[in-house]
């Protein structure tokens, strides 16, 4: 069985059965070992079929998605077995490879080779979805989808089975017997498939596990919510920063004097002070100051 370590889609899927990849009880693809055993499933989100390997029939049964069903407050995908699973190619040609030994009408599968040659045939309970000839031969049967259907309900995100109703009926092929040792079969008009027993393998998720699944689903949803919220906050802060930057951008700096201008100004001021202190002959201090400023 695959553990899902390398590929989560293979979690719980059969890798081999009795060290074989083919059961050898059915021909071609019908004998391939594949599908889940039902105890654990890979996530089924987006899947339309679910393959289930059943040791009771030495093969795989392919269930088809028929809708959704809520169990313990958790919505799951419902996969149900239809009439094609127990057909021998009469109505569904792709099922012809399941025909072994005694050929029978649709609705009953010959599993004699799987049961060491015993005349055993399986069907749904009360011959549900089977050819009407089976019902006509036996009294007291009343097939019902509610009580006799075969289905799995699986949480699609995590692959947790929420509800399972695996129902099958074991039938024995009985031929008319003219001897006196078994008077019960003496008056049989023709061979008949006699229901020997039918059983249900039921699974229902309990309160503890359902709480765990709900918590995991909420955490996953909340995680995405927090991620989007943080992204939104980051975007808002970025926009605010851009607006502030554009509205209060850097002003034009005041012009600065280079070293040459500073040196010239210093020389000019020194000359002014010198001229004012020692004016040339014939000039007053105010006249000298005026001349120096104009030349500057």
Q: How many whole angstroms separate alpha carbon 91 and alpha carbon 83?
A: 9
Nearest to 81 by CA among 53, 105, 98, 62: 62
3-state SS of the chain: helix, strand, coil percent to 5? 35, 25, 40
If you average pLDDT over residues 15-37, what whole number do you get? 81
- Structure-block tokens of residue 25: 């009880």
Give the least confident one: 1-5, 12-16, 127-131.
1-5
Helix (H) or strand (E) segment spanning residue 82:
none
| Range among 35-44, 73-82, 219-228, 280-289 with highest mean pLDDT value | 73-82
Q: 2 has which bridge partners?
A: none
pLDDT of residue 283: 53
For residues 44 and 15, is the Cβ–Cβ distance under 8 A? no
For the segment 55-87, what is each residue's pLDDT rounded down to a tens digit?
888 888 899 999 999 998 999 999 999 999 998
Q: How many whole angstroms separate alpha carbon 87 and alpha carbon 109?
A: 7
If you average pLDDT over residues 13-37, what whole number do you get? 81
- Structure-block tokens of residue 54: 């059943």
Residue 291 has pLDDT above 50, yes or no: no
For residues 295 and 264, is the Cβ–Cβ distance under 8 A? no
pTM: 0.70
Give the least confident one: 44-48, 189-193, 209-213, 218-222.
218-222
Nearest to 164 by CA among 78, 35, 47, 46: 78
Q: How many whole angstroms separate alpha carbon 232 and alpha carbon 152?
A: 41
Residue 292 has pLDDT above 50, yes or no: no
Give the least confident one: 39-43, 81-85, 104-108.
39-43
- Per DSSP, the three-state class of 281 is coil
Q: Specify the higher pLDDT residue, 246 or 131.
A: 131
Average pLDDT taken over every residue of the chain: 79
For the segment 156-207, what is each residue's pLDDT rounded down to a tens digit?
988 889 999 999 999 988 887 776 677 777 777 778 899 999 999 998 998 8
If you average pLDDT over residues 249-266, what whole number do you get? 56
Q: How many whole angstroms separate alpha carbon 79 and alpha carbon 64?
A: 5
- Per DSSP, the three-state class of 15 is coil
pLDDT of residue 153: 95
pLDDT tier for residue 282 given thresholds of 50, 70 and 90: low
pLDDT of residue 272: 54
If you average pLDDT over residues 82-110, what whole number do you get? 84
Neighbours of 83 (CB within 10 A): 16
């Amino acid at each position: 069985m695959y553990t899902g370590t390398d590929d989560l889609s293979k979690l719980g899927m059969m890798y081999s059965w009795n060290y074989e990849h083919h059961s050898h009880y059915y021909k071609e693809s019908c004998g391939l070992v594949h599908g889940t055993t039902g105890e654990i499933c890979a996530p089924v989100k987006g899947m339309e079929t679910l393959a289930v390997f059943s040791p009771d029939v030495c093969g795989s049964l392919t269930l088809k998605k028929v809708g959704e069903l809520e169990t313990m407050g958790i919505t799951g995908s419902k996969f149900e077995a239809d009439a094609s699973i127990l057909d021998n190619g009469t109505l569904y040609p792709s099922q012809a490879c399941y025909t072994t030994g005694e050929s029978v009408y649709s609705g009953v599968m010959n599993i004699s080779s799987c049961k060491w040659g015993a005349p055993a045939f399986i069907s749904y309970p009360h011959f549900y979805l089977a050819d009407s000839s089976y019902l006509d031969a036996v009294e007291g049967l009343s097939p019902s989808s509610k009580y006799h259907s075969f289905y799995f309900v699986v949480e699609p995100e995590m692959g947790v089975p929420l509800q399972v109703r695996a129902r099958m009926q074991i039938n024995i092929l009985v031929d008319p017997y003219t001897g006196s040792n078994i008077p019960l079969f003496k008056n049989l008009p023709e061979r008949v498939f006699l229901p020997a027993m039918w059983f249900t393998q039921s699974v229902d998720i309990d309160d503890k596990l359902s709480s765990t699944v709900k918590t995991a689903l909420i955490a996953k949803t909340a995680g995405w919510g927090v991620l989007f919220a943080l992204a939104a906050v980051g975007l808002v802060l970025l926009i605010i920063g851009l607006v502030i930057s554009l509205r209060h951008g850097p002003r034009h700096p005041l012009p600065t004097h280079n070293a040459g201008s500073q040196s010239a100004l210093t020389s000019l001021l020194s000359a002014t002070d010198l001229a004012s202190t020692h004016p040339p002959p014939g000039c007053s201090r105010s006249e000298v100051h005026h001349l120096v400023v104009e030349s500057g």
